[in-house]
């Protein structure tokens, strides 16, 4: 097990019909900005419940945060915050709204050019303060409700903004608020969660048994409940398990003290940026291809994954690993998500652009071993047909 630090101060309020407790978590004199996305929270009544719960606070609203939230949109919220002296943010939505709100919370307190916040992972920015914010989660997927990471789109790129100042103060997780999600978004959430776990688990062994078994537990549960959750949209218990596993998949817990490989996400981000493919669908395309290309480096964990998650206990090591990759792909397809680049009309003539995108963001030494050069990334794309 590697040395690590773990700190996750977010308060979780989990369960049905608890939005009336919002008053216990938002300072009574706070001037609140409610942030949300395309308006589904208005239609399904969640936004109204939040308004009712905040009846004692001065609040304003900022809607229209798009999937893959854009810098330009978020900066409009910053303007409003300054104009109205807002001092607390409340994100109501899924990963994009929460991620966007994290960026807003930093940008509203940043003295320099806010673009610098985007580049902070490869060019240091002076991130000293963020506005406090909470979340009301309507889509289980990104884990943003209990971590300090955000992915923000600007021009033709996606940028990861990771800053310990942007842990939500609190997150309300009511599984019933996810009942109205379209099937495809549930499938996306299952896959996003699955791949979050894989990026922290499927590397090389360091004998970190809590982390491994917890990761394997989440994967097994997703396999069990993935399709069922899509097909039974108002089954509270299925949704509760999806929501909580999704949160636990990316809150630092299973990634503490182990190598991590975020290659699938990094290449996937380029696919979303250039071709507008849903984030989770890009992951479903890249992960199986990556496991094939990085077979030798990941062999030991692939076998463990085969045995423990897929219960493939007989056969040679090669057979087990191959079967596990095949079953991973089949699982994604069973959620009606396609796993080949051709399914999304991407051809090899698009590769130069994708590789150039990685290069511009200095993503030239990806993976747990830093061996995924641009050449290897291209090889992964070639395997994704």
27/39 with CB nearer its own copies: 27
Q: Give Cα separations from 79 to 66, 99, 131, 198, 334 (angstroms).
A: 18, 18, 14, 39, 44
Q: Which of residues 341-380 bind its own copies (CB under 8 A)?
A: none
Find the binder of its own copies among 157, 221, 260, 369 (CB under 8 A): 221
Question: According to the binding rule CB under 8 A, does residue 155 interact with its own copies?
Answer: no
As measured in angstroms, the least distance from the Cβ of 301 to its own copies is 16
Retrieve residue 79's tokens: 């303007």
Q: Does 10 bind its own copies (CB under 8 A)?
A: yes
Structure tokens at 130: 């963020």
User: Considering the complex, what minimum distance in angstroms separates the CB of residue 163 from its own copies?
Assistant: 16
Instruction: Report the nearest approach of its own copies to the CB of residue 332 (Å).
Output: 20
Q: Which is nearer to its own copies, 57 or 245 (CB)?
A: 245
Write the interaction track for its own copies spanning residues 239-258; mark x where CB under 8 A is met and - where it is not. -xx--xx--x----x--xx-
* Whole-angstrom distance, CA of residue 133 vs CA of residue 301: 38
Q: Least separation, in Å, of the C-beta of 237 and its own copies? A: 5
Contact 52, 17 (CB under 8 A): no
Burial of 44 (0-12, 13-18, 19+ CB in 10 A): middle
To the nearest whole angstrom, how small is the minimum distance from the Cβ of residue 242 to its own copies? 10
- In the complex, the smallest distance separating the C-beta of residue 7 from its own copies, rounded to whole angstroms, is 4
Task: Report if residue 214 touches its own copies, rule: CB under 8 A.
Answer: yes
Among 43, 84, 112, 210, contact with its own copies (rule: CB under 8 A): 210
* CA–CA gap between residue 153 and residue 339 (Å, rounded): 24
Window of 7-15, 27-35, 42-50, 349-357 that interacts with its own copies by CB under 8 A: 7-15
The residue range among 96-104, 112-120, 236-244, 270-278 that interacts with its own copies, by the rule CB under 8 A, is 236-244
Interface positions, 12-51, toward its own copies (CB under 8 A): 12-16, 18
What is the C-alpha to C-alpha distance for residues 259 and 371, in angstroms, rounded to an integer?
A: 13
Q: How far is the CB of 16 from its own copies (least distance, A)?
A: 7
- In sequence order, which residues have a C-beta less than 8 Å from that of residue 164 and are 6 or more positions away? 7, 148
Cβ proximity to its own copies: between 65 and 238 the closer is 238
Member of 83, 85, 111, 209 binding its own copies (CB under 8 A): 209
Judge whether 344 and 275 are in contact, CB under 8 Å. yes
Q: Are strands 149-154 and 157-162 parallel, antiparallel or unpaired?
A: antiparallel
Q: Please choose, from the candidates 293, 295, 290, 284, the residue with its C-alpha nearest in 3D space to the C-alpha of residue 320.
A: 295
Assigned token pair, 2? 């590697």
Q: Are 13 and 170 in contact (CB under 8 A)?
A: yes
Here the tokens at position 298 are 């990941």
Closest CA to 195 of 287, 270, 272: 287
Q: Which is nearer to its own copies, 13 or 374 (CB)?
A: 13
Tell me which of 86, 92, 198, 225 binds its own copies, using CB under 8 A: 225
Q: Measured between alpha carbons, how far is 83 from 237 in angstroms, rounded to an integer?
A: 43
Binding site for its own copies (CB under 8 A): 1-16, 18, 207-210, 213-214, 216-218, 220-221, 224-225, 237, 240-241, 244-245, 248, 253, 256-257
């Amino acid at each position: 097990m590697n040395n690590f630090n773990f700190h996750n101060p977010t308060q979780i309020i989990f369960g049905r019909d608890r939005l009336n407790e919002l008053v216990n978590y938002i300072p009574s004199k706070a001037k609140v900005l409610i942030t949300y996305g395309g308006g589904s929270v208005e239609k399904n009544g969640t936004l109204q419940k939040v308004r009712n719960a905040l009846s004692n606070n001065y609040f304003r609203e900022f809607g229209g945060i798009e999937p893959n939230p854009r810098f330009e949109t978020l900066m409009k919220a910053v303007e409003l915050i300054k104009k109205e002296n807002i001092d607390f943010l409340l994100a109501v939505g899924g990963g994009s709204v929460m991620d966007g709100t994290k960026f807003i919370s930093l940008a509203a307190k940043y003295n320099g050019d806010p673009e610098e916040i985007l580049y902070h992972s490869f060019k240091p920015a002076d991130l000293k303060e963020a506005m406090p914010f909470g979340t009301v989660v309507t889509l289980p997927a990104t884990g943003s409700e209990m971590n300090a990471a955000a992915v923000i789109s600007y021009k033709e790129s996606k940028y990861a903004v990771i800053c310990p100042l942007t842990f939500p103060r609190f997150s309300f997780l009511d599984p019933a608020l996810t009942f109205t999600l379209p099937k495809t978004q549930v499938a996306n959430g299952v896959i996003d969660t699955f791949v979050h776990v894989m990026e922290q688990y499927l590397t090389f062994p360091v004998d970190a048994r809590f982390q491994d078994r917890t990761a394997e537990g989440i994967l097994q549960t997703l396999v069990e409940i993935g399709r069922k959750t899509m097909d039974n949209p108002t089954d509270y218990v299925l949704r509760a398990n999806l929501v909580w596993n999704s949160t636990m998949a990316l809150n630092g817990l299973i990634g503490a003290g182990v190598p991590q490989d975020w290659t699938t996400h990094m290449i996937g981000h380029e696919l979303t940026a250039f071709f507008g493919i849903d984030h989770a669908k890009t992951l479903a395309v890249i992960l199986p291809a990556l496991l094939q290309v990085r077979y030798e480096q990941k062999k030991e964990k692939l076998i463990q994954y085969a045995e423990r998650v897929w219960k493939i206990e007989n056969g040679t090591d090669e057979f087990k690993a191959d079967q596990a990759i095949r079953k991973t792909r089949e699982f994604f397809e069973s959620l009606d998500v396609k796993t080949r680049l051709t399914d999304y009309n991407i051809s090899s003539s698009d590769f130069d652009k994708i590789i150039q995108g990685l290069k511009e963001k200095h993503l030239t030494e990806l993976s747990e071993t830093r061996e995924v050069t641009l050449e290897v990334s291209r090889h992964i794309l070639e395997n994704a047909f």
